[in-house]
């Protein structure tokens, strides 16, 4: 049952990666990035006003940390994905997110004193190799010569932001109720993204994009983060973010059906490598420096 929460979040975010692509041409990135959090704040506020007041003694000394979490996990990570979607494929975006376990592993070792396991290291390396295969379209020489696609680069930055977010969430262990913490981060995202929204082009909400905004708001902005925070609290950041390795496969399948994106051989190989990383990380739990064995 404890794995149901991260799996739910991953399925929602895989769908949202496809929503990012569907939004291209229907609504500007700054618009959907702002509207999703604004609507989430509107939906949350009637139910969260009293809990915020009741928990204010716990909230007040942690306002700075809550602001940082909101910027990293809500504003930077989510908004960059919309800009990346205009320059790369949903399949690539999903596979790049599989680097998150590697990033969280490094952050957890540095900031949380977590011991490095053989499985986590091997799984992270497999994920990294899989991403290299995908972003290079199967030609590492071309990647070295031409560099990353700008959209892929944006997704790398977004992934790093959420990896830091997940690690800080575990490190700080804020005693604020999860739903209250999520609501406060939503408010941070609204405030931080408002200037970008004001200065950007707009098409407004309409029949062609309201469904996209509602999916991003109700599922990707409210339900998925709550499930993810619950997972980080009970499984830890490293184990929870391993589930991101499943996101490439799920995203690629949804993108193939909904967006008609073509799956090439390098997508298949990259997806298999990331899935292998999940299996290794979950089953091979021997700390580095001790006798290894698969459980």
What pLDDT is recorded for position 99?
75
pLDDT at 295 > cutoff 60: no
Place of tokens 């690629």: 252
The pLDDT of residue 251 is 82
Residue 84 exposed, middle or buried by CB count within 10 Å (0-12, 13-18, 19+): buried
Q: Which residues contact 189 (CB under 8 A, 6 or more apart)?
A: 37, 70, 71, 74, 75, 78
Report which of 109, 88, 214, 219 is spatially closest to residue 154, judged by C-alpha positions.
88
Task: Name 150's Cβ contacts closer than 8 Å, sequence gap at least 6.
Answer: 87
pLDDT-derived band at 193, boundaries 50, 70, 90: very high
DSSP reduced 3-state for 117: strand
Paired strand residues for 36: none
pLDDT reading at 294 higher than 60? no
Which residues are within 8 A (CB) of 241 and not within 5 positions of it... i.e. 6 or more apart? Answer: 100, 101, 104, 163, 166
Q: End-to-end CA distance of the chain: give it in Å, rounded.
A: 20
Sign of the torsion formed by the C-alpha atoms of 230, 235, 237 and 239: negative
Structure tokens, 118: 């053989």
Contacts of 290 (CB under 8 A, 6+ apart): none
Q: Share the mean pLDDT of the chain.
A: 83
- Residue 291's Cα: distance from chain center in Å? 34
What's the chain's length in residues? 295
Tell me the per-residue pLDDT of 41-73, one tens digit each, with 9 for 90 and over: 999 999 999 999 999 999 999 999 999 999 998
According to the model, what pLDDT value does residue 269 have? Answer: 81
- Helix (H) / strand (E) element for 8: namely helix 4-23
Residue 117 main-chain phi, psi, to 5 deg: -100, 155
Distance in angstroms (rounded) separating the CA atoms of residues 282 and 119: 7
90 burial (CB, 10 Å; 0-12 / 13-18 / 19+) is buried
- pLDDT attached to residue 149: 76
Q: What is the pLDDT of residue 282?
A: 66
CA distances from 145 to 1, 24, 53, 138, 140 (A): 46, 29, 56, 13, 9
The CA distances from residue 249 to 33, 170, 200, 258, in Å, are: 25, 27, 33, 14
pLDDT, residue 81, reads 87
């Amino acid at each position: 049952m404890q794995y149901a929460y991260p799996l739910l979040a991953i399925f929602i975010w895989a769908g949202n990666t496809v929503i990012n692509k569907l939004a291209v041409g229907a609504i500007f990135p700054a618009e959907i990035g702002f509207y999703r959090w604004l609507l989430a704040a509107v939906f949350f506020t009637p139910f969260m006003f009293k809990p915020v007041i009741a928990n204010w003694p716990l909230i007040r000394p942690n306002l700075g940390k809550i602001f940082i979490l909101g910027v990293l996990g809500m504003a930077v990570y989510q908004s960059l994905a919309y800009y990346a979607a205009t320059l790369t494929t949903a399949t690539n975006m999903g596979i790049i997110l599989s680097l998150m376990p590697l990033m969280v592993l490094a952050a957890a070792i540095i900031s949380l004193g977590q011991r490095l396991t053989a499985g986590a290291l091997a799984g992270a390396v497999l994920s990294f190799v899989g991403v290299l295969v995908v972003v290079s379209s199967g030609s590492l020489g071309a990647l070295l010569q031409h560099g990353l696609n700008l959209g892929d680069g944006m997704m790398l930055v977004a992934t790093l932001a959420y990896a830091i977010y997940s690690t800080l969430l575990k490190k700080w262990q804020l005693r604020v109720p999860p739903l209250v913490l999520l609501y406060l981060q939503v408010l941070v995202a609204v405030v931080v993204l408002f200037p970008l929204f004001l200065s950007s082009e707009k098409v407004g909400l309409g029949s062609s994009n309201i469904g996209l905004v509602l999916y991003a708001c109700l599922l990707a902005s409210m339900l998925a983060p709550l499930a993810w925070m619950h997972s980080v609290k009970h499984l830890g950041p490293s184990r929870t973010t391993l589930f991101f390795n499943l996101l490439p496969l799920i995203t690629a399948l949804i993108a193939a059906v909904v967006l008609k994106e073509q799956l090439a051989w390098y997508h298949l190989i990259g997806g298999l490598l990331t899935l292998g990383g999940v299996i290794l990380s979950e089953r091979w739990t021997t700390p580095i420096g001790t006798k290894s064995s698969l459980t």
